[in-house]
Structure 1
Amino acid sequence: MATLTEERRSTSSSAVSYRRFLSRHISWVPVFAAVIILVVMIAGAMWYFPNFQLNRIMSSILLDNAYLLVLAVGMTFVILTGGIDLSVGAVMAFTGILCAKMLGDGVPVAVAIPAMVLIGAAIGLLIGVLVQFFDVQPFIASLIGMFLARGLAFVVSLESIKVDNEGLLWLQSTRFSFAGWYITPTGIIALLTVALAAFVLRYTRFGRTVYAVGGNEQSARLMGLPVVRAKLSVYVISGVCAGLAGIVLTAYSGAGYPLNGVGTELDTIAAVVIGGTLLTGGSGFVIGSMIGVFVYGLIRTIISFSGAEQSWTRITVGALLLLFVVVQRVIVSRSALSR
């Protein structure tokens, strides 16, 4: 009888410890879910496809989706504040084709690249000003930015502009290999962007302010946090990432094109949500967004391996989004009950 009582106490203590751990780390649950999905997909692909080489496939996913990873970093900052940025695909296209045009006109790559980043930042600042000072909904403000950037891309050129600049093409043509893995400078840029963003969100006052604004903007104001500066900054960061992504995509494709990035903003949002960032703001991690990009890229790769139509990529991503939206609702409900 005493042994049975001790077992019950031990079980009860374990359950309490588990609930306490879950309540303290509940924001990591969607990230863990994304990791599990990624691992299961890799294991299934390796079992089903004998020629599936993990190191080469994952290296290829990073190579093909470096621009999407950079966009996802900027989008994570915006969504963490409860906003949205629909302009990233159009800004990427505009900066990409403008960069190709400038390089074709003889502008040095050391001038063209910083100029594209600054242009992206300017469009992001415009969206932030509309949201913060003119009380325009982020959806509408970023839609304005999207139309502006896409129109400017067509002003630059209606056709594709090929890039011959060796300095820019070096970012994609160079490969560093080790133990069967490989990475290009564009992949390194994407990973460094993730690392810098993760550091900012985790260890800086600005990062804590971003989470506070997304959690409860009114409370953040009452605490004296620089809410206005934070909300402006996240759109500038998103614009910078979009400008950088334009450079990465232009190096990857070897050309600028005004229709690049059509629908990419939706892919970016999908990757961020799959990575565990709450659309309501206040919870999420850049590392999770990176995992979301790899999940998205792996889905496309597996469907390509299987010979199925790429429309199944959208169907699969839609199913995953439904799953993660349900997970997010559970998290929000549990958080509300714990208060």
Structure 2
Amino acid sequence: MNGTMTFKTLQTIGRFGVLLALITLIVFGWLRYDNFLGTYNVLSVLRYNSMFALVALGMCFVIITGGIDLSVGSTAALGSVVAALASPYGAVPGLLAGLGAGLMIGACNALIITRLNILPFIATLATMLAASGCALLLAGNQSVSVSYESGFTELGQGDFLGFPVPAWIALVAYLLGSLVLNLTSFGRTVLAVGGNEDATRLMGLPATRVKAIVYLASGGLAGLAGVILAAQFGAGQPIEGVGWELFAIAAVVVGGTLLTGGVGSVGSTLAGVLLLGLIFNILNFENGLGWISLSAYWQSVIRGLFLLLVVAIQARLSVRTEETV
């Protein structure tokens, strides 16, 4: 009986731990800082972190299959440059161009991993370098200004019903992602591939096709994040995506998705994105109060230590769960 209760307790911690941490952080910020829950700060956090949310969503599906996608940051940078170059033709062409660039990199990843049987780490490392080089070549090693007359910037700076357009895009993407993962045969196959790919094939499930689609979607979502990046900051930025893949991995792991694959949640990934985003928002508030003064470099150190702590706790819980079983 005690073993069963412990097992259920560990499952509950793994599933709702990130949500409890997020609520705790929100309450802390509300009690400590003026205007922490003010409209401006809340909308700014949602607008800025929508890019990372899209990248993390694609990474969530990739990691559930037991893979990794190191190219998402460079893909987002490439998407921002391509979208900026196409922005004079209008918002829709700019959106489609950036999305298309991301899908192109995603298709390369899918082909290399599923057809050439190259490990995802090596395959996506190669496409990360290729995408970064393409972004720098297209941009001429400098930022590419977007057109402000075509309405393209509304994709990053606009509001709809009082809510940032980028946040609407991320919300729709997460709703679709959750429906796909939880209510479709494709989602069940994604989980099965991460659990045991060989067994999935023996059951007659389309494991190879599902993996290909997952990497294609990850590239597309990264390209879409690049579109928002260009629209939000008014320029395609070929070096801006550096480290985005680490943020995405951190958000996914913080959300309880196992790096070994087979277990994951779209909703928890979103909570992980918001948790990491609020941590840095709180650090900025602390800088404003004058109690501490942390540069962006120190914030990166904190991000790494936080990820290490979460992975260590996750590994410990997994060991205890196995011992209980």
Match of 2:94 in 1: 112
Counterpart of 1:95 in structure 2 is 79
Indicate whether 1:130 and 2:112 are aligned. Answer: yes
The alpha-carbon deviation at position 332 of structure 1 amounts to 3.2
Spell out, residue by residue over 1:32-63, the C-alpha distance to the aligned partner (whole angstroms, 9 max, x if none): 11112112222222222234225543322111
Q: Which runs of 5+ in 1 are unaligned?
A: 1-11
How far apart, CA to CA, are the structure 1 residues paired with 2:83 and 2:218? 18
Is contact 1:30–1:324 with CA below 8 Å preserved after alignment? no
Residues 220, 230 of structure 1: CA spacing in aligned structure 2 closer, same or farther, 3 A cutoff?
A: same
TM-score normalised to structure 2 length:
0.90
**Which residue does the alignment assign to 2:241?**
261
Helix, strand or coil at the partner of 1:110: helix
**Contact 2:91–2:153 at 8 Å: present in 1 too?**
no
The Cα RMSD (Å) is: 2.1
> Aligned to 1:161, which of 144, 149, 154?
144
- By how many angstroms is 1:258 displaced? 1.2
Q: Cα deviation per residue 1:271-306 (whole Å; 9 max; x = unaligned)?
A: 111111111111111111111111111111111111
Deviation digits for residues 86-126 of structure 1 (CA, Å, limit 9, x no counterpart): 1111111111111111224xx34323322322221121121
Is the aligned partner of 1:272 residue 2:255? no
Letter in 1 for 2:256: G
Q: Does 1:322 align with 2:308?
A: yes
Structure 1 position 36 matched with structure 2 position 20:
yes
Greater shift in the superposed pair: 167-176 or 242-251:
167-176
Matched residue type, 2:246: L
Alignment of 1:11-22 (within 5 A): 18-19=5-6, 21-22=8-9
Aligned position for 2:34: 50
Matched AA of 2:37:
Q
Map of 2:65 onto structure 1 = 81
**Highest CA radius of gyration, 1 or 2?**
1
- Superposed, 1:217-256 pairs within 5 Å as 217-256=197-236
Q: Distance in 2 between matches of 1:55 and 1:43?
A: 16
Using the TM superposition, give the Cα deviation of residue 17 of structure 1 relative to its aligned residue in structure 2, in angstroms.
6.9
SS of the residue corresponding to residue 153 of structure 2 reads helix
2:168 aligned partner: 188
Alignment length (residue pairs): 317
Residues 299, 313 of structure 1: 8 Å contact kept:
no
Query: Which runs of no fewer than 5 residues in structure 2 stay unpaired?
Result: 288-292
Instruction: Answer whether contact 1:277 1:284 (CA < 8 A) is retained.
Output: yes
Give the AA of the match of 2:135: A
**Paired-residue identity, %:** 38
Which deviations, in whole Å up to 9, do the C-alpha atoms of 1:210-243 show, x marking residues without a partner? 0000011121112111110011111001011011
